[in-house]
A = this chain, B = another copy of it.
């Protein structure tokens, strides 16, 4: 398949001299023109090196033609190297429960093109968003989660996720099994309605109110087996004061949640996020 569109390359490897020279040399030899490049070196001595490049190849450049040089580059430096075409629209599966503001914001930004992806389907343990999904032309699957039949519900959801690039838990209040989480490692984003690691667990706005904080926040992170412990992609906060009751925090929080989640999803979809250990490198 010819690489007629811009290609994004994500790289991670132990730092050492000569990486940028080798990468740029390889691309030049292939006729590629670097359009944007971002690097980050944790520590030139013994840290990791991260890079994101957007490249335009000459018309007609075949994908297989580039495969070998990239493979040589990767093996020379012990690189994680991922190539993504910018002309394939990623497909997102959104999981929601009752609160639908994050889902709607994502749908909206996908529609306007701010997020260059499409919502392929919505899974919910509540029928709440069914009508909206129908109107929006998005397939909606109501999969109730009964405590005694959690495994069945998850299996049902799992079966729907073919050709899906990213799972987004957009205020999905159910806990997924470690197996499911492992399958989607690095490709499943959750929005937690607090400024993590503050207020881990349920009802963070109630916790925030009780603690009397002066700012509330939201955190978008990759999902890992440890709940609310995954690598953070984005966070933001909103000022509050003594006049705000718990329901005010919820209302104000909803705006932060949807903005934070939408940014995180956009960055993931544009291949701007690298995960290393429990941290992310984001080239925005």
Binding site for B on A (CB under 8 A): 17-18, 20-21, 24-25, 27-28, 32-41, 44, 50, 56, 101, 104, 108, 112, 114, 135, 195-199, 210-215, 217, 231-237, 241-243, 251, 255, 259, 278-282
Contact = CB atoms under 8 A, between A and B. Distances in A.
Contacts of A112: 101
A104 B112 CA distance: 12
Contacts of A24: 20-21, 24-25
Nearest to A198: B198
Given A196-B213, A212-B278, A20 B37 contact: yes
A114 B99 CA distance: 14
Contacts of A214: 232-235
A182 B233 CA distance: 42
Q: Closest 5 CB pairs between A and B?
A: A212-B279, A21-B24, A198-B198, A17-B33, A20-B24
Copies of the polypeptide in the assembly = 4
A151 B18 CA distance: 54
A92 to B, nearest CB: 19
Given A21-B27, A35-B44, A56-B44, A281 B213 contact: no
A116 to B, nearest CB: 12
B282 A242 contact: yes
Nearest to A255: B259
A277 to B, nearest CB: 8
Nearest to A21: B24
Nearest to A37: B39
Contacts of A114: 251
B211 A232 contact: yes
A280 B234 CA distance: 26
A209 B198 CA distance: 15
Contacts of A259: 255
A25 B33 contact: no
Contacts of A281: 242
A38 B38 contact: yes
A127 B108 CA distance: 19
A237 B38 CA distance: 26
A120 B59 CA distance: 52
Contact of A17 (B28, B37, B217): B28
A160 B7 CA distance: 52
A77 B75 CA distance: 32
